[in-house]
Structure formats: structure tokens, C-alpha cells
Amino acid sequence: MRRCLGYRRFDTKGQLADLQQLETLLARRANVLQPSMALQEKIRTGKHPSPWTKGLGGSKIQKRYHAPVTPLHRLLQAPEVSDQAKARLLRQLGDIDPLSLQRDINILQARLLGKTSQDISLGAVTHSTISL
């Protein structure tokens, strides 16, 4: 959320409702549309000299990752998830329109950034550019 809106202060109930809705949309985008790489294994190899350990040496860690997959697809591949739940998730996946999801996120961001009293320099986003 901080990456999306920064460290501004939001005080009103309307802003709280917008923040909650934005959080839901951001989570949906991250879980359905953004692939991530899950850690497969860590391998610690040998002793390597390090300037921070003053010659005592340390070990090097090599990380290997699975191929990038969205969290939703990782969940669909899991054998622990029932077929009923997988069917429900696939229906939800079909209902999501990526363009309208991103548009709604942008509208909420602009609405919240336009309401803060701390950011006066935000002249690019005005109420005339947002049609709600």
C-alpha cells in the first residue's frame, strides 16, 4: 500500500473506504495477474573469505527458484485444494478484466491522492480527469 500511495495521511471515513477498496483491488491484481518466483531451494557452499569477517571466511548461498507463476495458478496446481474450490477459483479468474481492474486502481489512487492535504504539488491529477 505504501508503494502505491506513499506515506500520506488519510483521515476521513471516505478515505478509509477508498483505501479498503484499493487494498482489495491490489491484492486481486497481485494474486491473479502478477507472476512471482517461489524459492525452490537454498544451497550453502563452502567457506569464502569476506572482508566483514576479517579473514575468518563465510559461506556462499545459492538460491534456485521455480518458474514464475501467479499465486492463483500455483494454488490451482496444489493437490491439497479440492476440485470444488479450483472450479470456483477458475470462475473468479474468468470474471476478472485486467484493463478495468487497472483503471479502477488508477481512479482510486487519483481520488485518494487528490484528497490529501499534504500533497499540494499534485497538479497532474485533477477531478476533471476522473469521471466517476
Which of 68, 91, 117 lies at the terminal end of a domain, its last residue?
A: 68
pLDDT at position 5 is: 79
49 is in which domain, residue-wise?
37-68
Say yes or no: 125 and 76 in one domain. yes
pLDDT at position 59 is: 74
Say yes or no: 51 and 111 in one domain. no
Say yes or no: 25 and 77 in one domain. yes
Say yes or no: 58 and 113 in one domain. no
Per-residue pLDDT of the chain (132 residues; tens, 9 = 90+): 777 777 778 778 888 888 899 999 999 999 888 999 999 999 888 776 666 656 556 678 889 999 999 999 999 999 999 999 999 999 988 888 999 999 999 999 888 888 654 444 444 444 444 443
Say yes or no: 28 and 51 in one domain. no
Say yes or no: 44 and 90 in one domain. no
The whole-model pTM stands at 0.66
Say yes or no: 45 and 90 in one domain. no
- Grid coordinates given for 42: 537454498
pLDDT at position 53 is: 59
pLDDT at position 112 is: 87
Say yes or no: 13 and 29 in one domain. yes
In whole angstroms, give the CA distance from residue 101 to residue 14.
20
In whole angstroms, give the CA distance from residue 16 to residue 96.
24
